[in-house]
Chain A
Amino acid sequence: MYENIEQLQLFFPEVTIENGIDMTTVNVPVEKLLPVMKQLKDNFGFNYLAGLTAVDYNEEDRIEVAYHLMGIPEAKEIRVKVNLNREKPEVCSVTSIWPAANVQERETYDLLGVIFKGHPNLTRILCPDDMVGHPLRKDFKKEGGE
C-alpha cells in the first residue's frame, strides 16, 4: 500500500498531480483511466467511489469527467479528472471496479451525454427515454428560456 499519491507517477508518468482548494487532483489521459483507477483502488486504498459527474466546458470544446474517490475508513479523498472530446465524449466505464458507478454513469450519460464504454446498461435514468438532447450540456435549449 502506497501512502503518497505522488508515487502514482512511478506507475503512470503521464498523469499530472495538482493541489486543489479541497483535495489533490489527478489528471489522467483518457486511455489510461481504467488502469489508473485500478491502481488507486488496489494499492492506494481508495476503495469507495464518492462521486462521479461531468462538467461541460463548451467554450473550450471539452467535457470533463470528475471522479471523487475516498478511502474508507480513513476518509482520505482524491479527485480524478479526464478530459473528453465534446463531439465524441467516450470513456471506459469503471463499473467493473466499483459497482457503485453503475447508476452514476447512467446519470452522467443521461444529463451530459458521456458514453461509458463497457457499461452493462447505459440507458437514461432520470429523463424520459424518448427525450432528445442532454440537459446539462451548456447549449441545451431550455423551453421558455431567454
Chain B
Amino acid sequence: MAEKNGNLRTEEIQLNMGPQHPSTHGVYRALLTLDGERVVGVENIIGYLHRGIEKLAEDRTYTQFIPYTDRLDYLAGMLNNLGYVQTVEKMMDIEIPERAEYLRVIMAELSRIASHMIMIASMALDVSGWTAWFPPFRERERILDLFEMVCGSRLTLSYMRIGGVANDIPEGFLPNLEKFLNDLPRMIDEVNGLITGNEIFKARCQGVGKLDLDTAIAYGVTGPNLRASGLPFDLRKAKPYGIYDRFEFDVPTLNNGDSYDRFVIRLLEIEQSAKIIRQAISNLPDGPIKAKVPRVIKLPKGEVYHQIEGAKGILGFYLVSDGGTKPYRLHIHSPSFVNLGVLPLISIGETVQDFVVNIASIDIVLGEVDR
C-alpha cells in the first residue's frame, strides 16, 4: 500500500524467499510482505517435495511401506520406522522380543540426537556461526557410522521390521557407541562455548519469534518447540509407547518460548537421550530380535492411530485396514507440517533476519512437511 511519509513515498513489497534459498532448509518458499525490513505478512508455500507417500502406501504391502517412512523426516529415519511398525503391531497383537525393544530404543534415541545436532548446527550456520557447525556434524557422522554398522545405510535406514528389527548389532557396535556417548559432553561443551553463550548469537535469538504456551497448544505445536514454551509434555513420559516406561529421564523445559530457548532445549534433550541410551545398553538382554510374523501380513478390519514422540514433535500414523494385505488408507500426521503453521504468526512484526532465525528454530524438515 502506497503511503506518504514526509517527502518519501514508501510501499510494501512482496518477496519470495525460496524455494531455493540456503536458510529455508529445503524446498520451502515463504512469500513475505515487507514494509522496509519489517515483515508484515508471511505465506507458507509448500508441496515442492510432495511425493504422494500416503497414496503410494495404498499400493504397497505393510512390509513394503517401511522404506517410504525413511523418506519422511530423513534426518531421523529410525523414529519414523518406529512409529510406523508400532502402528501395524498395534493391530496385530504380537509380542516384540525384549532385545528388539531395547535395540529400537537405542536406535530411536540416536536418531533423535542426530536430528537435534542438525538443528543446532544449521541454526548456528544461519546466523553465521560457522565454527559451531563443525562439532555437531562431526559427532553426527559417528552416529551415521553406527547406523551403517547395523543396517548398511546411513540415512535411509529401514532398520525396523514389523515384529522386531532387521539385524542384530555387530561386534564392535557397543564399544563404539559407548565411546560416542563418552565424547558427547565434549561436543555439548564446545557448542556452548562457541555459540550458546555468544553475545552476538544471543542478541540475534533472544526474544525473537516468541511463542507463548496457549498459542503453541492451540496451533498444535509439539515436541521441543512446545517444551521451550514451558510445558513438560513428552509422549515418552505422558503416554509411554514400547518400553519407554522403564527408563529414567527428565523432560527439560524452558520458559521464554523464543528462538534462543528452542535452540538450548535441543542441547538439553541430547543429554537426556544419551541418558536413555546408557540405560538401554546396561539392560540390553540376549535373545531373539524378531518375533514370528506371518510372511504375508493381513490386518483385521479396523483402524488405529498411533503417536510417538518424534524428533520434531508428535508423529502420528492413522492406519485404516479393510482386512487385506495393504493399507486401505494411511495418514501421516507430521509434526513439521503442523509446526510450520505457526511460523507466520511468530514472525509478523519482526525483521527478515529474524525470520531466518525463526525458520531454523522451529526446525522443519521438508520431507516430512510435504510427504
Contact = CB atoms under 8 A, between A and B. Distances in A.
B341 A68 contact: no
A126 B371 contact: yes
Contacts of A56: 329
Interface in A81-126: 98-100, 102-104, 107, 111, 124-126
A104 to B, nearest CB: 7
A55 interface: yes
B235 A103 contact: no
Contacts, number: 95
For the residues of B in contact with A, the DSSP-based class is mixed
A135 B231 CA distance: 38
Contact of A98 (B220, B231, B232, B328): B220
B302 interface: yes
Given A73-B231, A135-B55, A68 B305 contact: yes
A29 interface: no
12 contacts: A20-B303, A50-B220, A50-B316, A79-B305, A99-B218, A99-B220, A103-B338, A104-B220, A104-B338, A124-B47, A126-B50, A135-B55
Interface residues of A, number: 37
A30 B130 CA distance: 54
B331 A125 contact: no
B238 interface: yes
Given A103-B340, A127-B47, A47 B217 contact: yes
Interface residues on B, range: 35 or more
Interface in B12-26: none
Contacts of A5: none
B302 A68 contact: no
A127 B337 CA distance: 14
Interface string A121-146: 00011111000000110001010000
Nearest to A52: B333
